[in-house]
Amino acid sequence: MKIQVPNSKFKIRIGWLYPELMSTYGDRGNILYFRKRCDQRNIGTELLSIDSSFSSGQFKDLDFIFGGGSQDTEQELVMRNLMGNKAESLKSKVERGTPALFVCGSPQLMGRFYEPGVGKRIDGLGIFDIESIHPGPLVPRCIGNTVGEVYWENLSAVRIERVIIGFENHGGRTILGKNVKPFAKVVKGFGNNGNDKTEGMVYKNAVGCYYHGPFLPKNPAVADFFIQRIIEVKYGEHIKLDKLDDTYENKARETLLRRFNIL
């Protein structure tokens, strides 16, 4: 899969982790929305599938990496294919500061390991210093609408928007290690584990979170953060993005926040 937009001054090459296996919950919406916001600013995009046909050498060309969610079986298939040179190339990109966003179940694959409720432990890539354990099929899942306050300082960024909103549905409980920082503080919902009020994780320019499906359309400020950071990393330019008309996004956010009694 390779889709291009007409050339412009800036161009972003997006690597999408196993879209056929890891798009269970409508995570495709994040890619569509991200590319739309780039297109509206005349920023070119190129989309590449990181799948079984993708070589380890191709990682060097990527400017942004995205991973979505999947079931435990698909996660294990992805990990088997990623192990080896591909895994090392992906880790190297993150270590060098390439921006990345992993939503839903994909952060578990980027951690040290994920232990499902039934079955064997799945070793992760170790990009994030996290451990995820499912306490078992009889333990209630962490599910429902969720609101968080972004720790913009952990992203080395000025505050763009105070809160993020989304939906979570996960059985695993994730504990952060010393080498990662939380992405957000839980205002409503469960977050990483339902206890410490943390949501997601940040390591260099890589972000992971449990927010399902179309996370970026609900949080345009996060999409813009990534666009700006990608351009900074790739081109060494600190730019101010053109403001877009987010009337519908803002109305949707206000409606949800009022429903949650946040506003």
Whether pLDDT at 146 is above 60: yes
pLDDT at 122: 84
pLDDT at 118: 82
State yes or no: is 170 an active-site residue.
Answer: no
Whether pLDDT at 5 is above 60: no
CATH superfamily entry for domain 2-259: Class I glutamine amidotransferase (GATase) domain (3.40.50.880)
pLDDT at 3: 42
Confidence of residue 4 (pLDDT cuts 50, 70, 90): very low
Confidence of residue 187 (pLDDT cuts 50, 70, 90): very high
Confidence of residue 64 (pLDDT cuts 50, 70, 90): very high
pLDDT at 198: 98
Residue extents of the structural domains in the chain: 2-259
Percent pLDDT > 70 in the chain is: 95
* pLDDT tens track for 161-181: 889 999 999 999 999 999 999
State yes or no: is 212 an active-site residue.
Answer: yes
Whether pLDDT at 117 is above 50: yes
pTM of this structure:
0.92
Average pLDDT of the chain, as a whole number? 90
Confidence of residue 18 (pLDDT cuts 50, 70, 90): confident
pLDDT at 1: 42
Mean pLDDT calculated for residue range 134-159: 94
CB 62 within 8 A of CB 47: no
Q: Which of 104, 142, 170, 209 is catalytic?
A: 104
* pLDDT tens track for 82-112: 777 888 999 999 999 999 999 998 898 899 9
pLDDT at 7: 45
pLDDT at 80: 75
Q: Which of 38, 209, 212, 238 is catalytic?
A: 212
